[in-house]
């Protein structure tokens, strides 16, 4: 891995950053608070080819990888426009369908995901399962050639702006009594699917939902890959999910530190800029160091994933953990640097607090990452 990005990467960063700045954080806040969607930015990103950089050229993508997709997510976020559905639609769903889908499924979905014409949501979390995927209770049973889906999913993002949902369901039980999982594509207008909004205290255009599947009937071609192979398939999407979450945390850190540094250079108290004082400067410098360390781990994780290296899982978890911690610290210090202005909507910092704080909990909590590292990296006994 060469730590110097290529000219193509630099050009991609510049192009995405330019697009992000043309909308800006004001657009993000306005759409969020009005109840609107970031549709214009999403479509513009798709028209520029940014949403499908990780998808194969034969299906309308850019033919690159998750490394390039995390560049897109980071640069849009650094411009003040974190697009949560980038973590879900092209990263999770696009990666899974590209790896395990049939030619017909790839043709049907990948082109539309790449252009932004379609958005796909992802449903794995349940009220009583949480991080224990083996305990998933949503069931897809066979009825002739069809599947009939029943169960509940919880905290599912962006269902109101998606055309379909990639659902993780139990289709059997193994010899240890654990669920055999399968992935099915469910249209968001399917008969028997009910969507209930979960109110959350977060400034974001993307909403969260509880989903109720009441005997939703699906044709056999809704199945992605092989029945019962869902857990392996899921991890093809979950490593990119962690990497993309990290990229967004890195973007928020960069955005916040840029705002804080600008403010600290211009704001004068007792005749000198407040950035003169080490009490202001040193915490920002420390936040910068930790943010750059998180970016390095994120880039390493993306590179390992694209190389098919088995260490990608460990690196993706570490990157997500590091970026969530560094991003939260950077944003908090930026708010502190602004004093009372840090909570003002005008200064565009507190409006990102909910999105940044969420990253310490989702898509996987910091505690579960520590469990993973303790068990898989250090060889310690498992507590579960």
100-144 confidence digits (pLDDT tens): 999 999 999 999 999 999 999 999 999 987 667 778 999 999 999
- Known catalytic residue: 241? yes
Summary mean pLDDT of the chain: 96
Residue 88 lies in a domain: yes
pLDDT of residue 160: 97
pLDDT of residue 17: 98
- Calculate what percentage of the chain has a pLDDT beyond 90: 93
Tell me how far apart the alpha carbons of residues 41 and 135 are, in angstroms, rounded to a whole number.
Answer: 38
9-24 confidence digits (pLDDT tens): 999 999 999 999 999 9
Q: In 3-state terms, what secondary structure has residue 165?
A: strand
Confidence of residue 182 (pLDDT cuts 50, 70, 90): very high
Burial of 134 (0-12, 13-18, 19+ CB in 10 A): middle
Burial of 357 (0-12, 13-18, 19+ CB in 10 A): middle
Q: Which domain holds residue 177?
A: 121-227
238, 323: one domain: yes
277-303 confidence digits (pLDDT tens): 999 999 999 999 999 999 999 999 999
pLDDT of residue 213: 98
**How many structural domains comprise the chain?**
3
Q: Which two tokens stand for residue 56?
A: 């194969």
Q: Which residues pair with 43 in a beta bridge?
A: none
72, 150: one domain: no
141-181 confidence digits (pLDDT tens): 999 999 999 999 999 999 999 999 999 999 998 878 788 99
101, 172: one domain: no
Q: What's the average model confidence in pLDDT over 332-354? A: 98
149, 29: one domain: no
Catalytic residue among 241, 262, 307, 346: 241
Whole-structure pTM value = 0.96
H helix intervals, the chain: 7-34, 39-47, 66-78, 85-86, 94-100, 103-115, 230-266, 278-306, 312-337, 353-358, 366-372
């Amino acid at each position: 891995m060469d730590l110097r990005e290529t000219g193509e990467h630099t050009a991609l960063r510049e192009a995405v950053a330019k697009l992000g700045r043309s909308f800006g954080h004001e657009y993000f806040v306005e759409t969020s608070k009005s109840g609107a969607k970031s549709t214009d930015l999403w479509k513009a990103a798709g028209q520029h080819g940014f949403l499908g950089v990780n998808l194969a050229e034969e299906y309308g993508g850019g033919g690159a990888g998750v490394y390039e997709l995390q560049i897109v997510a980071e640069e849009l976020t650094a411009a003040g426009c974190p697009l949560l559905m980038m973590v879900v639609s092209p990263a999770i769903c696009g990666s899974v369908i590209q790896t395990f889908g049939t030619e017909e499924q790839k043709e049907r979905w990948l082109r539309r995901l790449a252009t932004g014409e379609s958005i796909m949501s992802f449903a794995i979390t349940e009220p009583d399962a949480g991080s224990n995927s083996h305990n998933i209770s949503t069931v897809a049973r066979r009825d002739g050639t069809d599947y009939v889906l029943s169960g509940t999913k919880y905290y599912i993002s962006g269902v109101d702006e998606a055309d379909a949902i990639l659902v993780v369901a139990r289709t059997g039980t193994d010899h240890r009594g654990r669920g055999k999982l399968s992935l099915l594509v469910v249209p968001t207008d399917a008969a028997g699917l009910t969507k209930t909004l979960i109110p959350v205290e977060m400034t974001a255009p993307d909403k969260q939902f509880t989903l109720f599947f009441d005997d939703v009937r699906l044709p056999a071609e809704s199945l992605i890959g092989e029945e019962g192979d869902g857990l392996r398939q899921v991890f093809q999407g979950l490593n990119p999910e962690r990497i993309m979450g990290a990229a967004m945390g890195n973007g928020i850190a960069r955005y916040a530190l840029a705002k804080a540094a600008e403010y600290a250079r211009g704001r004068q108290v007792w005749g000198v800029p407040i950035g003169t004082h080490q009490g202001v400067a040193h915490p920002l410098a420390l936040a910068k160091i930790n943010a750059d360390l998180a970016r390095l781990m994120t880039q390493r994780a993306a590179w390992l994933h694209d190389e098919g290296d088995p260490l990608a899982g460990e690196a993706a978890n570490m990157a997500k953990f590091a970026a969530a911690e560094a991003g939260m610290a950077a944003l908090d210090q930026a708010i502190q640097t602004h004093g009372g202005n840090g909570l003002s909507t005008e200064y565009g910092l507190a409006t990102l607090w909910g999105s940044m704080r969420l990253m310490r909990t989702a898509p996987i909590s910091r505690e579960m990452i520590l469990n993973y590292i303790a068990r898989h990296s250090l060889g310690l006994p498992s507590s579960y």
